[in-house]
A = this chain, B = another copy of it.
């Protein structure tokens, strides 16, 4: 059996189907999409790719299937889905996901398309695997789909340990060996066997700790916002959403450098000359109209802030992340012989949800020199000072409340 050496899981055994899939262009392309986008602006070692992550997910799926006693064609399908689960990703992965969707339609359609025609489909068919069923598994459909995409999926298990290994932040170091061993199917539902409430909590806590320190680190968010804004300018020009989605990180970076509308942004990102926070406000008790504002409204607010502050439109970025969710709270655990959702069993889950809401922040970003002025205007434009609730002790240009971890 062919093996591939991985920095996280050591030797990964690769089946024949997997070898053939690995040799396709859509999978090889994942070598050129980094796992964590702009997080490397905070943690310079975070340069791992969707390709090695996909291998890791494949490996954990294989281990889980083996412990679950699932073999043959059924297992082959799940492994293929695990390996392929990220082929639909565009450049910079989640950083530009929403943007790409807005310009191309649904993500899973794209995966469907990638799986249903071209090289990947040919190989799947050559191995007698139905591309449509694989696409279903990637989308988390069916009993076995939960293993690929669900509350207890192997995707999550791989990325937490992998991101910990590559950032140096230890919080993601979960006991994945135990997790894949304790999975069970009970009444068609994937659940953790009895005696694992805490195993489930530990998984949840790992993500809860990695979130503000890695995934939503303010500096990574600013980098992402700048990248997104620049890429939008490309989309305002000749670039179509579909073209963008087919790019990898290199293509996008070089396009940003070479297009005159974005070369300044590319230069800034390339030198890590980032915008600063002009406003950093808790969103916990925010009126819905702000949080649910659509993309057009956000752009209008930005324009208004820029105008009133007397700066050009590109100098203001308003970053309103979606309401935080915690899908893991529906993780199923067997307690006293019955399946229960973790959220009902564990006191911690409710607390973690509250914490997540407390950490939820709106940001207005601007060049360092203009940040203070823009902050003052933004507070007024966004009605933050009038409500009195949002900015409590956030003075414009000073952003006191969120924990910040080691950053460059």
Contacts and interface: CB of A to CB of B under 8 A. Distances in A.
Interface stretch (A121-129, A249-257, A291-299): A249-257
A408 interface: yes
Interface in A26-67: 28-29, 31-32, 34, 40, 43-45, 47-49, 51-52, 55
Contacts of A8: 45, 168
Nearest to A270: B28
Contact of A3 (B11, B336, B406): B406
Nearest to A49: B47
Given A49-B47, A254-B254, A347-B355, A198 B170 contact: no
A261 interface: no
A270 B406 CA distance: 35
A352 interface: yes
A335 interface: yes
A201 B178 CA distance: 24
Contacts of A408: 2, 4, 22
Contact of A348 (B199, B351, B400): B351
A52 to B, nearest CB: 5
A116 interface: no
A10 B177 contact: yes
A326 interface: no
Nearest to A24: B271
Given A52-B45, A271-B28, A197 B7 contact: no
Interface stretch (A95-103, A134-142, A205-213): A205-213
A321 interface: no
Contact of A198 (B24, B52, B178, B209): B209
A404 B193 CA distance: 11
B25 A270 contact: yes
A335 B11 contact: no
Given A25-B270, A253-B250, A7 B401 contact: no
Nearest to A194: B400
Given A43-B5, A47-B48, A177-B11, A198 B169 contact: no
B400 A11 contact: no
A75 interface: no
A23 B271 contact: yes
A198 B181 contact: no
A195 interface: yes
A173 to B, nearest CB: 5
A406 B47 contact: no
A278 interface: no
Contacts of A263: none
A406 B44 contact: no
Contacts of A47: 34, 47-49, 52
A227 B170 CA distance: 36
Contacts of A2: 408
B406 A5 contact: yes
A175 interface: yes
A174 B173 CA distance: 10
A34 B177 CA distance: 27
A178 B31 contact: no
A47 B24 CA distance: 20
30 contacts: A2-B408, A4-B408, A6-B168, A7-B167, A7-B168, A8-B45, A10-B168, A11-B181, A11-B406, A23-B273, A24-B271, A25-B270, A31-B40, A32-B270, A47-B47, A47-B52, A169-B175, A171-B202, A198-B213, A198-B403, A199-B405, A249-B250, A335-B400, A335-B401, A336-B393, A336-B400, A347-B351, A347-B358, A348-B348, A348-B352
The 4 A-B residue pairs with the shortest CB-CB distance, nearest first, are: A351-B351, A7-B45, A254-B254, A198-B403
